[in-house]
Structure 1
Amino acid sequence: MSSFFARNRSALTIAGVALLLTLWILSGVLTREPPQINQRAEAQPMTVAVMRSAAQTVERLLTLQGEVQADQRVTVRAETAGRIAALPVELGQRVSAGEVIARISMDDRDARLRRAEAAVRGRETDYRAAQQLAREGFQAQLRVETALAELEAARAELEAVRLDIANTHIRAPIAGVVNHRYAEVGDFVGRADPVAEVLENHPLRAVVQVPQHNVHRVQVGGPAHVSFVDGSEHTGTVRYISARADTTTRTFRVEITVPNEERSLPSGVSVQVRIPVEQVMAQRISPALIGLDDRGRLGVKTVDDDDRVAFHVVDVVRADADGVWVTGLPEAARIITIGQGFVNAGEPVRVVDEGAGS
């Protein structure tokens, strides 16, 4: 037996050590407490940045595109036929009402005038002679009446010749600027042919088409802001609202008078017209803060007094270079500016004022 242990001492030693290790491991597994299942850490509120905003009184504007027209635009036409003999005024020159802007050649009008004057003198002599003879009883009263009719006809012919001569001087019917010529010196014009265009740009008329659902908001005598293509802005007054809608577009023609005493503003150009229709309480925000809810409505996310997200449906009142003015927010609001895309209405959040850091 001793010899067996002697021969197998090493193997028995190793087996003993292995047995002890196995017992030690088993004792740890059996005696330790079962592992605890890690509980999911409670989610922390999302951190958002907010901007504090207070409502202000602003004008709700009806913004429309239109054009400006001259207050008066007249095509001057010839009232007698003939060749253009002279054009005393230049294009672009300002003229007064009644000023001559073109002359037609006299041709035979002087001769016709002398003939008509001679005819009147002859008929006057005949009429006086007929009257004298009638008083003396040598001629019937019928001859007197005939002589008077012939005299009146001669006088009418004389007036017609004088009027025709006067019409050789083509005059501006209104004060304004000679804006266009339809005939040049040497051109032949007939009666009613166009000769020139005269227009008056003071005041200007801004013309817009107002949709039928908004026309009730516009009032005659109300103000309007007119922006020209050169960037200048001018204040005008609504002077006319059509009583009937256009049957094709269902819009109403509205005209706004724009003072232009210096005549520095041209007519015929495009303009943007903004007509104030009411005053509302609104807040100016960046357009980037406006989003859609699950119903497709435009709105802005804010944080309420309980630090929970609220979604407010808004209406855009007007826009300018610094942002958009909207209604629908509380008078004093904490508007989410950073993180609004990661939170939903009703969720609690941790609030940091914009610019204050986390």
Structure 2
Amino acid sequence: MKYLPFVLVLATLPVAAQEAKVEAGPKPPAVSAVLAARQTLTERVSVTGTVVPREEILVAPEVDGLRIAEILVEEGDRVTKGQVLARLSRETLATQVAQSDGARSRAVAAIAQSRSQIAEADAALTEANAALKRAQALRTTGAGSQEQLDQRTAAARTASARLASARDGLRASEASLTEIDAQGREQRIRFGQAEVKAPADGIISRRNAKLGGLASSAADPMFSIIENGALDLAAEVPEQRYARLAIGQKAELTLPDGSAATGTIRLIAPRVDPVTRLGLVRIALASETKAASGNFMRGAIITNQRETLAIPASAVLFTNGGKSIQIIENDRIVTKPIVTGLVDGASIEVQEGIAAGAAVVARSGSFLRQGDVVRPVIGGKE
């Protein structure tokens, strides 16, 4: 009986050793995980392009062959509609206007003369008709001769013809005055067109006019004006993202100096270049944008934005069966298929497959299998 304690001790040794062995075994691997949570995602389409005038007005002379006498604006000047940009030599036009004024004075005098002739011829016709009536009365009574009646008849006809001729002369003089007035208006218009004016408000983008040169509508325009100073970004977008664009979508852009700018899609071209596979869009730049025509710009168009359930894009597995993720449930790996949506940088929307709060393996990979035991590490804490 005195050896009994020793026997009991020996019997318990294997059990203690077994427990110590279990406690000393390897721990499950630590796996970084994130909790699926709702956040605002913004889907963007990258763009690059060149700044161009929204509407560029070409200003050409309306009168050819005149020497450029004065230039009143330079490139970069802001002008208003009707402002004089340049003046052409007007000596020849002034002479033509003076000649037209002289011709009009002669036509007015001719009209006055024709009216006097009409009055004179009308009086003569009245007198001749009266004499004819007297002669006819005398001839009826037998007191007058046939010869006298014939003379009075001829005189009346002559007076009538003179009156008709005077009236025709008046109509001719009035027609001449109308023609001269039309020519005079044309000459005055040409005289006014010797001042080259801005057809709209804007900014002078190019000046081709040179002092002493001859104005010609067939040559390069004298000036180019950016209407209202409005600028667009002519941007190119890959065809696979072209269908996501819509008029009115906002754009976040970067100027060459690194400063930020904003814009709105104004126009989407109806075709994609078959060689480059790029489509052209016009982005109307905000009026305060400090850009110049010809500048290069890059940025992104915001095609969609909403608050939704999101996870890191690195958590998504792409297989022949579709997209899936690995989540941790009860310290074990569970693979679940998902349906994704918006992509915003390193985040991706999950439309179907998991709920908010699920522990998602942050970087999924082939080293983890369904059912593997792991130690989740969320936010740096186990």
Task: Give the TM-score taking structure 1 as reference length.
Answer: 0.71
Contact 1:62 1:277 in 2 (8 A): no
Query: Larger helix proportion, structure 1 or 2?
Result: 2
Specify the SS of the correspondent of 1:141.
helix
Contact 2:202 2:226 in 1 (8 A): yes
Q: Structure 1 stretches of 5 or more lacking a match?
A: 1-41
Q: Structure 2 stretches of 5 or more lacking a match?
A: 1-24, 122-161
CA distance in 1, matches of 2:47, 2:370: 36
The answer on 1:163 being equivalent to 2:189 is yes
Specify the SS of the correspondent of 2:73.
coil
CA distance in 1, matches of 2:53, 2:176: 50
CA distance in 1, matches of 2:167, 2:299: 77
Contact 1:316 1:324 in 2 (8 A): no
**Which residue number in structure 1 is paired with residue 286 of structure 2?**
259
Cα deviation, residue 119, structure 1: 1.0
Query: Larger strand proportion, structure 1 or 2?
Result: 1
Q: 1:294 to 1:177 in 2, by over 3 A?
A: closer
**Which residue number in structure 2 is paired with residue 69 of structure 1?**
52
Deviations 1:315-354 (A, max 9, x none): 473445xx34443573323232478452134433232334
Contact 1:75 1:196 in 2 (8 A): yes
CA distance in 2, matches of 1:309, 1:201: 61
* Structure 2 counterpart of 1:70, one-letter code: P
* Structure 2 counterpart of 1:147, one-letter code: S
**Which residue number in structure 1 is paired with residue 211 of structure 2?**
185
Specify the SS of the correspondent of 2:55.
strand
Contact 1:212 1:245 in 2 (8 A): no
* Structure 2 counterpart of 1:189, one-letter code: A
Cα deviation, residue 172, structure 1: 1.1
Cα deviation, residue 107, structure 1: 3.9
**Which residue number in structure 1 is paired with residue 350 of structure 2?**
327
**Which residue number in structure 1 is paired with residue 342 of structure 2?**
317
Cα deviation, residue 68, structure 1: 3.9
* Structure 2 counterpart of 1:310, one-letter code: T
Q: 1:154 to 1:105 in 2, by over 3 A?
A: same
Contact 1:300 1:312 in 2 (8 A): yes
Cα deviation, residue 161, structure 1: 1.6
For residues 1-358 of structure 1, the aligned pairs below 5 Å read 45-81=28-64, 82-137=66-121, 138=162, 139-193=165-219, 194-200=221-227, 202-208=229-235, 218-220=245-247, 222-229=248-255, 230-240=257-267, 244-245=270-271, 248=274, 254-260=281-287, 262=288, 264-269=290-295, 270-277=297-304, 279=306, 281-283=308-310, 285=312, 289-290=314-315, 292-295=317-320, 300-305=325-330, 307-310=332-335, 315=340, 317-320=342-345, 323-327=346-350, 330=354, 331-337=356-362, 340=365, 342-356=367-381
Identity of aligned residues (%): 23
Cα deviation, residue 309, structure 1: 4.0
Contact 1:176 1:200 in 2 (8 A): yes
Count the aligned residue pairs.
Answer: 309
Deviations 1:188-236 (A, max 9, x none): 221353101111465433445677886775554x441230334444444
Specify the SS of the correspondent of 1:57.
strand
CA distance in 1, matches of 2:229, 2:286: 6
Task: Give the TM-score taking structure 2 as reference length.
Answer: 0.67
Please provide the CA RMSD for this pair: 3.6
